[in-house]
Amino acid sequence: MAAKRGIDAVAAAIARLDADVVGLQEVDVGTRRSGGVDVLAALAQRLGWHAAFGKAMDFDGGGYGVGLLSRVPLEAVRTVPLAGAPGAEPRALLLARVDLDGGRWTVGVTHLASVLDGPQAAELRRQQARTIAETLGGRDATILLGDLNAPFDETTLTPLSIVGAFAGLDAGPTYPAPAPTLRLDHIVFSPDLWQIGARVVDTGISDHRALVARIAQKPAR
């Protein structure tokens, strides 16, 4: 995406979101189709932010997967492989810890199986969601960002209820960007957090619209 639209245009679109942490999918690092550029590092440099890459697979002379961009340092970064199958695109969950607003947060980003993975896609999504739930379920101050390739109420995503609630369900659909009819992009937040607001934004640089949510720790009673 960044290679086609231009790094500067993508960085400018991300800056306009006015977010603290951004999750990205379909990220190229050093691939030939992106001119050997580490797209994530280039975006971080333009923004003056921090970056972490979660490689899902080797691709075209480099890596391909998901990424996090953050205004503050990303710590304890790790990548969790998700369920795959022959002929399906490999998927991963990238996790990091950030210190924001006086709290310590766990943030994850992922990209689940799509219709392009064939008739096995729904079952793969279910298995992938289960691994994410096992990894993040029961944690405080946890946020999951992702293109989950399904609406929040599809049964394949049911395991994610262990992680928390889906943000901004009334904010509108996200795909396809020019005239969206489907909500495939989601933010899930743990029960100790609460949503202050959410909106869907047409960034002009993606085939999906961006979901932006303001999440805070619940005030002490």
pTM of structure: 0.95
| 84 domain-assigned | yes
Convert the pLDDT of each residue in 29-54 to its tens digit: 999 999 999 999 999 999 999 999 99
How many domains does the chain contain in total?
A: 1
Return the ∠ at Cα 52 (arms to 133 and 1), rounded to 5°: 95
Cis peptide before 176 (omega within 30 of 0): yes
> What confidence score (pLDDT) does residue 3 get?
45
Sheet holding 62-70, edge to edge: 21-29, 62-70, 50-59
> What confidence score (pLDDT) does residue 1 get?
43
Show Cβ contacts of residue 162 under 8 Å, excluding neighbours closer than 6 positions: 133, 137, 138
| 185 domain-assigned | yes
| 38 domain-assigned | no
| 105 domain-assigned | yes
- At 104, list the tokens: 């310590």
Q: Which CATH number do you get for residue 163? A: 3.60.10.10
Range of the domain at 177: 20-25+72-217
Q: For residues 171 and 136, give the distance between their C-alpha atoms in angstroms, rounded to a whole number.
A: 25
| 107 domain-assigned | yes
Residues in the chain: 221
Q: For residues 54 and 69, give the distance between their C-alpha atoms in angstroms, rounded to a whole number.
A: 12
Q: In the chain, which ranges are E strands?
A: 21-29, 50-59, 62-70, 75-81, 92-100, 103-111, 142-147, 165-166, 185-189, 193-201, 210-217
| 44 domain-assigned | no
| 188 domain-assigned | yes
Residue 169 DSSP class: T
> What confidence score (pLDDT) does residue 41 get?
97
| 13 domain-assigned | no
> What residue ranges of the chain have pLDDT lower than 70?
1-5, 221
Convert the pLDDT of each residue in 148-181 to its tens digit: 999 999 999 999 999 999 999 999 999 999 999 9
